[in-house]
Every structure is written in structure tokens, then in C-alpha cells.
Amino acid sequence: MLKSTNSSVPIGDALAPVGHEVIKGYLKTIDNSPGVYRMLDRESRVLYVGKARNLRARVSNYARPSGHNGRISRMISMTSSMMFLTTRTETEALLLEQNLIKQLKPKFNVLLRDDKSFPNILVTTNHSFPQIKKHRGAKKEQGAYYGPFASAGAVNRSLNQLQRVFLLRNCADSMFETRTRPCLLYQIKRCSGPCVSLISKEDYDQTVKDAERFLSGKSTDIQARLAKEMQEASKALEFEKAAALRDRIRAMTQVQTAQGINPQNVTEADIIALHLEQGQACVQVFFIRAGQNWGNRDFYPRVGEDVDAAEVLEAFLGQFYDVREPPKQLILSNEIENIDLMTDALSQKLGRKVELLVPRRGEKAELVDSAMRNARESLARKISESANQKKLLQGLAEAFDLSEAPNRIEVYDNSHIQGTNAVGGMIVAGPDGFLKNSYRKFNIRGDDLTPGDDFGMMKEVLNRRFKRLLNEDPDRDKGIWPDLLLIDGGAGHVSAVAQIMREHGVEDIPMIGVAKGIDRNAGKEEFHRLGKRPIGLRHNDPVLYFLQRMRDEAHRFAIGTHRAKRAKSNMTNPLDEISGVGAARKRSLLAHFGSAKAVSRANLGDLKAVDGVSEGLAQKVYDFFHEQG
């Protein structure tokens, strides 16, 4: 049970007191319960969220006028009010603390900024011939899930090799049901052709079991059985079969080699190593599942000054596993302050025991050393890249007379084909490079737009963007407002954007239009600003390359989004729009005619001849396509 206590000053009271004396005043109103506390500034913005086994004892520490490091002293000096939520246990407090940190993003907390889900491999079970495919997100589809993998690339590489070994299909059920001859994957020996009965169900089921055993780390017996079958086929002079088995064994070996060095005595664990340097942090996570290395990923949590490794790693664990299922073991590079509490919280989440280890010797220590080396090298690269990026941002400010180097640049572009499947793309860049978590796509909705009207599309995108900004962050204190807009276009586009900004009461954000310039050649771009003459940059100016790279990234993102939308549109089957045509009748129609296009051209008599299609339904299908035309 949670109990809330809120004692705060009026919002925006510039005369409200701050500091340890304000905090001291709360000691009269709180008890020794466990819970979560929030520290707020004069504007009621949350500075810090913390948990405590004993709220009164924790707050009394902050009430002391001295004995704090620089970060905590600055936080106390800004604190004008506090809020409290009591809990039954400290474990509840820990879980609540991490939820609030992710929701409120307080200035003085360690914050994990990457909350993407990790991909898995899914072997479906809702079909007589199971499919193997990549899966990301909630595990709602029936089947066996294997993961997580560190990246989509790691999954794709594994799937490619697994298809060579086990020849499982990866096509959608709808495609499977309508095939009349094997597809290209069968021709290049990536599928066994179950769609056209080129493999029996019993043999296919055996390959599914083998694939699942392999993904569960039980590959030795599979290779031994395949080797035996290869020898038997060779003795029987079935050389084609023997060659196919040889290729499968070789592909399986390549999978194991691609995974790198797999641990001998660790079957399921995340290896987590932290490196701190120059006020920045890198956490490297290696995913070990079924005794196999399924990749690694680096994270760069936001840390303040004067934070120690224990605080950073504990905050990372709480936020990282808030939305992810922890494995049986977490093998850490550093001790954390509340290891028993974190163990209890994660065990409750998983529903079974989770073990947290900080090894000093043996194989686990070697795994941590490897992860630590990766963390150290990754952070060194990032620090170097950040230094270069800051120089570029400063050069950009100087080249275009900006008051200061921008922290957040938003770049916009549109993509369409003669106005169809039109989308707008927004990418974001800053001191840390491209911020891909902040990219946004906009499906162009304007029904009154002329096909190919770039001005109209840009107006719609910018209108929607700034309406949302004004709604979500009217005070501009959440760090989501741009310091600079980069527009793909010339003076006309800049004027159109400026008009949109004025309509929203926003006139203090500079913008630059990037036009192709003479002969539309890269390197001869013209840069347009409101009320100023266009300028160019030297062909070897690093700032020019920087601007080109941002423009090209926005173009790449917009085109990719457009292609995805177009592909989805092309995959839409018009039969799905006809009431009364369910999955079975759809299969019958497609099997009879070969495609939805052929169904649309069929006469009424031919439609009536399809198995399972009644006279009334045939009339309905015929009317649907002829009324559409």
C-alpha cells in the first residue's frame, strides 16, 4: 500500500526558501517507514527521486548543512519542496523509484536513455509447419521464443545460418497457403519446401525439434546424428543427400564460430560491466543464453558529477530490467549498495531466483574482464567522437552566426512517389551524434494536398510537430525543443516554415534551408536563412560535410519510412475488405485463381465454381470488384 504526503510551495514562487533548512522542516511530518521521496525546485520540477528503508533517517541526512559531495550539495541548494510515498517494503520502494525515474527523468538521477526492446527468434506453434522468424516486442504470438539477442543484425545473421542448417520456412502463413511451386529460398537451399510437399510432415517436425534443441544449446548430439546420416548416405551412394547433410553440418559450425567464444560453465546470464571516465559512463551487456554468446550491447546512461560505480550500476540494473525479463544470473563488474534488495526485486519480477554475482576469479571473472575491456574501448571512442561533434557544432554556430552551439538540431525531409504514400521524416542530432530514439515519422494526412506538394507536406509536418511541442513542453524545460531547424529546401521552404512558427508563437528558433545549388551537385549547396542572402561553404569545410551528413540521414530515414509504408500498402489484400470472406474462403479463392488480381477479373460463373463459395458470396465478391472499378 502506498501513502502519499505532499508538502510543497506554490509553483513559480521565486521567494520560496530553498536548501537544507527547508528539508529539515519535513522531519516533523514523516516517520520511519520505507518509501520514495522526490526533491523539487521552486518551479516544482523534480530534481531527484530516491528510495529509503527509513524515510526519516534519509531525509535527516539531507538536512545536514555539510558533509555532502558537490552534486548533492547543488541538489540540496535547489530544493524548495519534497514529496513522499510510503511503501510496505523497501523492495516496493525500489520498484517504485525506478518507475518514477523513467517517467520523470530527474536532473540529478542516473538515467538510462535507451529503452528499446531486444529481438528474439520465434519458432511458431500455431501451424502444422512451424515458421522461424525474428520477433520484437510483447510475446503474444504462440510459439517458443529464444533470446534476447543484442541486435537485429545478430538475429538476422543467426536466422540466415539457421535456415541453411535446418531449412525451416520463414514465409508468412498467407503466402505458405497459396504457393503452387517452391520459392527462391528452396532453390538456394534455405528452405525444404513444405509449402508444396517437398518434405514430409514427420521429417519437417524433426528439423523443427533439431532447431529448438540447437537454440537451447544442445547442438553436439545433432551434429553427431547428421554426421552419421551423412556417412550412411555416402555408403549407399546417395551422394546428393550426403552433400546436403555435409552443407548443414558446415553451416552449423559457422553458426557456432560466428557466436564467438562461448562459455563452458555459464548457461544463462547477462554479463554487465561498467566503466566511468571524464564524467561519462558506459555499461556493456553480454547476453549468454543456452551456453551461447548472443551478442553484446553498450549503453551510455546519463550520469552527473561525483557519482560512484555502485550508484550508477544499481540505477542501471533497476531501470534496465524494469521492462525486461532478467536471466537466472547477473554477473557484475562492481558491487552495488543494495545487492540483497535488488536480488529480491528481480526475483519477484521473474518469479524465480535471480542471482547477482561479482566474481573475482575463474571463467566468470574472465567474462567480466572481456565486457569491461569492451566498455572501456567503447567509452573512449564515444568521448573522442563527442569532442569532434562539439567542434562541429561550434563551427556550425560560427558559420551561421548562431548565439551558441546548438544542443538539439532537428532535420526534416519528405518522401513520396507522385504524392502517394507520402511521409515526413524528422531526425535529431546533438553533441552525442544522431539521437535515433528521437527520430519521428509523419504519415501525411492532408486530403486537400496536390500530389507532390512539398510545401504543403512540410507545413503539415511542422504544424503537427510544434502543436505537440507546445502541448507536451510549454515551458521548454524538458530538453525536447530544437535549438536549430534544418530544412531540405531553399528560400521558399524557409519562409513557409517561418510562417508556421509565427502562427504558433515561436519566433526564436533559427532555421537553415539546404538547397542543392548549381547543377544540384554535392559540395555546391546553398544555405538559406530568413531575411539574409544565401551563402555557401568551402568545399573542404568540415561543417559542410556535417550538414551534408545530417541532410543525407534525414533523406535516408524519410525514404526508408516511405518504402515501408509503400510495401505495407502493396501487401494489403483487397479480399480482406469483403465481408463474409474469411481465411478459409480467401485461401480457396487464391488457390483457384492464383492471385487477388485474377479474382478481381473473374466472371460470376467462375467465382461460383470455387469450392466453399456460395452463389451469394460469389455475387458479393463480383459486385465488390466491379463497383470498385
Banded pLDDT at 137 (limits 50, 70, 90): confident
C-alpha cell at 286: 553480454
Q: Does 626 score more than 50 pLDDT?
A: yes
Residues 6+ apart with CB under 8 A from 107: 45, 46, 47, 48, 304
The values of phi and psi at residue 311, to 5°, are: -65, -45
333-to-191, 276, 321, 382, 416 alpha-carbon distances in Å: 43, 12, 17, 20, 49
CA angle at residue 308 from 305 to 309, to 5 degrees? 130
* Domains, the chain: 3-104 (3.40.1440.10), 120-258 (no CATH), 269-380 (3.30.420.340), 409-569 (3.30.420.340), 574-628 (1.10.150.20)
- Are 443 and 564 a contacting pair, CB within 8 Å? no
Strand partners, 270: 287, 330
How far is 393 from 406, CA to CA, in rounded Å? 6
The pLDDT tens digits of the residues spanning 316-334 come to 999 999 888 899 999 999 9
The whole-number pLDDT of residue 7 equals: 45
Instruction: Give the highest mean pLDDT range of 79-93, 161-175, 227-241.
Output: 79-93
* pLDDT surpasses 80 at 542: yes
Q: Tell me, what's the pLDDT at 102? A: 86
- Digit-coded pLDDT (tens) for 390-432: 999 999 999 999 999 999 999 998 886 655 678 889 999 998 8
Q: Give how far Cα 534 sits from Cα of 491, 498, 526, Å.
A: 8, 16, 6
At residue 553, the 3 state secondary structure works out as helix
Mind listing the pLDDT tens digit for each residue in 584-600? 888 888 878 877 777 88
Which residue intervals of 25-151 are DSSP H helices? 55-63, 70-78, 90-104
Average pLDDT of 608-621? 87
Please say whether the beta carbons of 491 and 517 come within 8 A: no
Distance CA 503, CA 485 (A): 16
- The pLDDT assigned to 628 comes to 46
Distances (CA, A) of 137 to 141, 147, 550, 563: 10, 12, 29, 22
Residue 8: its pLDDT value, please?
Answer: 44
522-536 mean pLDDT: 85
pLDDT of residue 106: 92
* CA–CA gap between residue 320 and residue 347 (Å, rounded): 15
CB neighbours (10 Å) of residue 358?
16
Between 12-16, 190-194, 237-241, 566-570, the lowest mean confidence (pLDDT) is in 12-16
The answer to whether the CB of 282 falls within 8 A of the CB of 298 is: yes
- The C-alpha atoms of residue 78 and residue 548 are separated, in whole angstroms, by 42
Has residue 241 got a pLDDT over 90? no
Say how many CA atoms lie within 13 Å of 396 toward its Cβ: 29
CB 15 within 8 A of CB 80: no
**How much is the pLDDT for 11?**
43
C-beta atoms surrounding 316 within 10 Å: 23
Assign 255 a pLDDT band (cuts: 50, 70, 90).
low
239-258 and 220-235 are packed helices; what angle lies between their axes, rounded to 10 degrees?
Answer: 160
**Beta strand pairing status for 269-277 and 280-289?**
antiparallel
In what side-by-side order are the strands of the sheet with 120-124?
132-135, 120-124, 143-146
Contact 169, 129 (CB under 8 A): yes
d(CA 140, CA 370): 35
What is the pLDDT at residue 231?
86
Asked whether the predicted pLDDT for residue 629 surpasses 60, the reply is no
Beta strands in 502-589 (DSSP E): 511-515, 526-529, 532-535
Alpha helix (H) residue ranges in 188-219: 201-215
Hey, what amino acid is at 487? I
Q: What is 122-161 written as a DSSP string?
A: EEE-SSSS--EEEE-S---SSEEEE---S-HHHHHHHHHH
Q: Once rounded to an integer, what is the mean pLDDT over residues 327-345?
A: 93
Lowest model confidence (mean pLDDT) among 10-19, 311-320, 364-373: 10-19
Predicted confidence (pLDDT) per residue in 354-385, tens digit = 999 999 999 999 999 999 999 999 998 888 88
Catalogue the E-assigned strands of 507-552. 511-515, 526-529, 532-535
pLDDT over 90 at 15, yes or no: no
Q: Is the peptide bond before 148 cis (omega within 30 degrees of 0)?
A: yes
Instruction: Considering only the C-alpha atoms of the chain, give the largest distance between any 2 of them, rounded to a whole number of Å.
Output: 94
pLDDT at 9: 42
Task: Tell me the average pLDDT of the chain.
Answer: 85
102/272: higher pLDDT: 272
Q: Are the C-beta atoms of 416 and 372 separated by less than 8 Å?
A: no
Residue 56: closest CA among 41, 78, 81, 37: 37
Mean pLDDT of 10-30: 79
How far is the C-alpha of 63 from the C-alpha of 36, rounded, in Å? 17
* CB hemisphere CA count around 168 (13 angstroms): 30
Cell of 424: 515526413
Quick one: pLDDT at residue 139?
85
Terminal Cα-to-Cα distance of the chain (whole angstroms)? 62
Question: How does strand 420-430 pair with strand 292-299?
Answer: unpaired
Residues 6+ apart with CB under 8 A from 139: 120, 145
pLDDT digits (tens, 9 = 90+) for 473-512: 888 878 899 999 998 888 888 888 898 888 888 888 999 9
User: Rounded to an integer, what distance in angstroms lies between the CA atom of residue 72 and that of residue 68?
Assistant: 6
Query: pLDDT tens digits for 57-73?
Result: 999 999 998 888 888 99
